[in-house]
Structure formats: C-alpha cells, structure tokens
C-alpha cells in the first residue's frame, strides 16, 4: 500500500498544472531564443532559411587567357555580379639574347600568360558560372566548391542585439547614482554595449552580403609561347669611328701637354734651383780641370 500511494502521488505531481506551466515556459524560452525573423537554429541543413556562404576556387588551362577572361567578365555582369579583381600578366620563364647584325640583337623569350579573377555573383547564378568554366577550359587543374554555414553566428549576433534593452537599466542607474565614479563606469559600460551592438549589426550585414553573393577565385593560364624580337645592340652604338678616336686622341695629347707645362710652371722655383746647382757644379769642375792641367 505505501508503494502504491507513493506512485499515485508522483504521477499526480507530474500531471499537475504546475509542471505543465513549467514545461510551457521552457518551450516558450526555447522558441524565443532559437527563432529570429523565422530562422531557427534547429532548421534542416537543406532549409532555405539557413545562412550559407558559398565559395569556389578554380585553376584552369585555356587556349587564350585574354578571351576567356573577357567572356567570364561579361557572363558575371550579365547575371548581376561584379568583378572585384581581374589581373593579367606575362610570366617570362626563359630569355636568351643572340647576335643578329652588328647594330642589332635577336631576343628570344619563353613566357606564359596568366590571369587571376575574383568574381562575386548572386548565389542563384553560381552554378551557371561553375558549369561554364569547363566549356571554356582545355584542362582543369583543380576545382574546389565550399559552403560555410553561418546560421548560428547570425543567430547569436541577432539574439544578443535583441536582448539589449537600449540601456534602460543603465539610465536608471545614472538617475539614482550620486557617485561620480559609478556614473562614469555606467556610461562606459553603456558605450561599450552600444559599440558591441553596432559591431554585431555590421557583422551580420557582412554575413548577409557573403550569403547573397558567392565568391569565385579563378586562376587561368595558357600554354607557354615564344616571342622573337629584334632589339638594338648597345655595344655597337658605344664604339666610335676612327676619325672620332683620332680626334679624341689629339685632344687627350693636347690636354696632357698643357698639364706638363702647367706642372713646370707650378715648380718653377725648383727648376731655378736645379739650374743654379748645375752651374755651380760646372764651375767647380772647370776650376779643378785647370788646376790639373797646370800641374
């Protein structure tokens, strides 16, 4: 009998209105916390309400990089997308210079034209561009399609912003506070919350832009090509003719002669001393020779 009474009491407690209200409150809180503008965290992965960021990376070989780039740019614009970046350059892998004529050289270059595209297209048109690339390409080196589900991040930002009461509590504290330090702390807290809210709003705007517009990074290249060009020979134009060399040599000799004359002019006193010394030596030798002859 005691066991039967206890079981009956426990069942009556479980089915009591109090527990029903508690269960209802739980369901209500879950519904309010998980739903924002019809979006739920428990939605199926294939639900159109989920926030999905789509990206695609391709590396392709094409016959003509410039023509393929122009075609892709026109296709993206036709579906309402934008070209964020379009860069074309020639990558020179080898270069040789050979003699051709006395005044010219033959330059041979091996190069590969490459292009990098960053495209943004509406996510509905992503498949159109993805299916067009194999048609324009002769070989696909790599292909990567990725999806990032940012539903929970979007929900988190939205719920945290909705949970703010626009600073009503802080305003109440400011009115009732008589302490300057507490007021400053409350103001700083309010400013920080507002800034966090703005940051989350901007983050959600960026998320929605990335969700609505898929990003494609496409690298294009074409087979190596060879270009031959004739360029001037600098050494030929540097070399002078015989007449120019003769005139230059005459000028050099004349300048050297002038420098020698100027050197003697600068040391004239040394030349004078040398002459006097030579005269004295000659006189001494002449006297010695006369004395020797007399003897």
Specify whether 84 is located in the same domain as 95.
yes
Specify whether 77 is located in the same domain as 102.
yes
Confidence of residue 6 (pLDDT cuts 50, 70, 90): very low
Specify whether 7 is located in the same domain as 84.
no
Say if 183 falls within a structural domain. Answer: no
Contacts 24+ apart (CB under 8 A), 45-52: 45/149, 50/149, 50/151, 51/149, 51/150, 51/151, 51/153, 51/154, 51/207, 51/208, 51/211, 52/123, 52/147, 52/148, 52/149, 52/150, 52/151, 52/211
> In terms of pLDDT, which residue wins out, 237 or 129?
129
Confidence of residue 240 (pLDDT cuts 50, 70, 90): low
Say if 24 falls within a structural domain. Answer: yes
pLDDT in tens, 215-237: 999 999 999 889 888 888 887 77
* DSSP-based three-state secondary structure for 15: coil
Say if 165 falls within a structural domain. Answer: no
* Total Cβ atoms within 10 A of residue 216: 23
Specify whether 239 is located in the same domain as 108.
no
Residue 16, pLDDT score? 40
Say if 7 falls within a structural domain. Answer: yes
Say if 10 falls within a structural domain. Answer: yes
Say if 84 falls within a structural domain. Answer: yes
> In terms of pLDDT, which residue wins out, 10 or 39?
39
Query: Distances in Å between the alpha carbon of 228 and those of 19, 89, 225?
Result: 89, 18, 10
Specify whether 246 is located in the same domain as 138.
no
Specify whether 76 is located in the same domain as 96.
yes
pLDDT in tens, 260-269: 888 888 888 8
Q: Is 8's pLDDT higher than 50?
A: no
Specify whether 101 is located in the same domain as 228.
yes
Query: Distances in Å between the alpha carbon of 84 and those of 29, 76, 138, 213?
Result: 44, 11, 25, 12
Specify whether 223 is located in the same domain as 249.
no
158 near 201, Cβ under 8 Å?
no
Specify whether 225 is located in the same domain as 245.
no
Say if 200 falls within a structural domain. Answer: no
What's the rounded Cα separation, in Å, for the pair 60 and 219? 6
Specify whether 244 is located in the same domain as 228.
no
Specify whether 104 is located in the same domain as 243.
no
Specify whether 221 is located in the same domain as 94.
yes
222 near 112, Cβ under 8 Å?
yes
pLDDT in tens, 178-187: 666 766 777 7
**Model pTM score:** 0.59
The chain-wide mean pLDDT, for the chain, equals 79
Total domains in the fold of the chain: 3
Say if 42 falls within a structural domain. Answer: no
What's the rounded Cα separation, in Å, for the pair 9 and 20? 16
Instruction: Give me the domain span that covers residue 28.
Output: 1-34
């Amino acid at each position: 009998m005691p066991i039967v009474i206890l079981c009956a009491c426990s069942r009556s407690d479980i089915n009591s209105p109090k527990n029903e209200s508690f269960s209802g409150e739980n369901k209500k809180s879950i519904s309010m916390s998980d739903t924002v503008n019809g979006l739920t965290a428990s939605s199926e992965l294939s639900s159109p309400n989920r926030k999905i960021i789509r990206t695609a990376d391709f590396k392709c070989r094409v016959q003509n990089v410039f023509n393929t780039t122009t075609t892709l740019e026109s296709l993206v614009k036709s579906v309402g997308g934008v070209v964020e970046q379009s860069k074309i350059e020639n990558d020179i892998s080898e270069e040789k210079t050979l003699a051709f004529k006395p005044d010219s050289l033959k330059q041979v270059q091996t190069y590969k034209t490459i292009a990098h595209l960053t495209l943004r297209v509406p996510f509905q048109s992503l498949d159109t561009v993805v299916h067009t690339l194999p048609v324009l390409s002769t070989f696909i080196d790599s292909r990567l399609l990725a999806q990032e589900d940012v539903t929970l991040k979007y929900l988190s930002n939205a719920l945290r912003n909705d949970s703010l009461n626009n600073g009503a509590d802080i305003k109440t504290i400011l009115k009732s506070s008589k302490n300057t330090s507490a007021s400053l702390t409350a103001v700083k807290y309010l400013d920080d919350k507002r800034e966090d809210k703005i940051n989350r709003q901007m983050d959600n705007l960026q998320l929605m832009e990335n969700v609505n517009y898929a990003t494609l990074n496409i690298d294009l290249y074409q087979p190596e090509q060879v270009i031959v060009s004739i360029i001037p020979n600098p050494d030929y134009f540097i070399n002078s003719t015989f007449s120019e060399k003769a005139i230059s040599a005459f000028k050099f000799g004349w300048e050297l002669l002038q420098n020698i004359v100027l050197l003697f002019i600068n040391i004239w006193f040394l030349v004078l001393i040398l002459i006097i010394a030579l005269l004295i030596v000659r006189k001494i030798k002449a006297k010695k020779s006369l004395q020797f002859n007399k003897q």
